Amino acid sequence: MTKDWRKIKGSNIDATAWDACVAQNNGALFTLSWYWQAVLPQWNGWVKGHYEGIVPDALVQKWGIINSNKSPLYVKYLECLGHNISTEEKQHIFQKITAKGLLKGIHVQPGIEVKGNIKWHRVQIAPYSGEEISRELRKNLQKAERENFKIDFDQTWDRFSKFMKRHHPYDWNQNQQNKLENLYREGHQRGMIKIAGLSCDGLMVAMQLYGVFNGTLYTIQNVSDKDYRELHVMSYLIHHLTEETHRTHGVQQIHFMGSSNKSVARFNKKFNATDLEYCFIAS
């Protein structure tokens, strides 16, 4: 079942062919080759034929001795994409990939279940709804629109980094900072990742690092000033960001990258998000 697949170092991947496979098969932003190179430079890829099928592989060596197989930060799950690849074939290739590694923490795309120590996680996706927004979101927006808000849809990394350090609710360690900055810079030069900032009377109150690919808006990382949360600043920012990217890039859905946290999941529901379960393979 997997004899037609071969493993290739990320640095030797034909990025054009890989990314074409992702685009042609409606894959996610976080499956693109440059995205993986930014968040896990040691990554490998499994390729079927001449890129008729692709799967990223997170197996790396830690401290030079221990095989670690963990989904990198800012990758929601691993996708197997390609032409005429059955669910059974996907299960076989994922079983092969996830079986390796002493330290495990692998997320596999929705619709695929493999053997192992499995837990179920959630991703949420919301359709672009235009004027048909939820009652709760409409109420939030009405409250927010009383304020003197202004949105910049292409803020700088330096502004975002300083805002994150000041307002993020938990420690934003150096490893996370470096990975996200690498990701931002790689994506920004390609026009796929930007940062939106919401200010009130000149003071920044909320920011969203986001990506756009194949008609989908990805909410990669956001943060807000807790003193302004009662004004529903994130609801306001994401709503207007969706409207803007629908206008400029034809966005038809929102992929909420943070959905496992219960309070975040409840927030996403106001955008009419639906739940999709995917399996997480632990050590």
Amino acid at 41: P
DSSP 108: B
End-to-end, the C-alpha distance of the chain in Å comes to 25
Contact criterion met (CB below 8 Å) for 81 and 48: no
* Tens digit of each residue's pLDDT, the chain (283 residues): 567 899 999 999 999 999 999 999 999 999 999 999 999 999 999 999 999 999 999 888 675 666 778 888 899 999 999 988 999 999 999 998 888 876 788 899 999 988 888 888 888 999 998 878 899 999 999 999 999 999 999 999 999 999 999 998 888 889 899 999 999 999 999 999 999 999 999 999 999 999 999 999 999 999 999 999 999 999 999 999 999 999 999 999 999 987 667 888 889 999 999 999 999 888 7
Secondary structure (H, E, C), 230-268: HHCHHHHHHHHHHHHHHHHHCCCEEEECCCCCHHHHHHH
H-helix or E-strand spanning residue 30: none
pTM above 0.85, yes or no: yes
Closest CA to 60 of 15, 116, 11: 11
Helix (H, G, I), strand (E, B) or coil at 183: helix
Q: How many CB atoms lie within 10 A of CB 111?
A: 12
For the record, the structure tokens of 203 come out as 């003071």
Q: How far apart are alpha carbons 272 and 261 in whole angstroms?
A: 17
Q: How far apart are alpha carbons 205 and 235 in whole angstroms?
A: 12
Where does 58-109 show beta strands of DSSP type E? 59-62, 66-70, 81-82, 103-107
Chain centroid, CA 256 distance in Å: 7
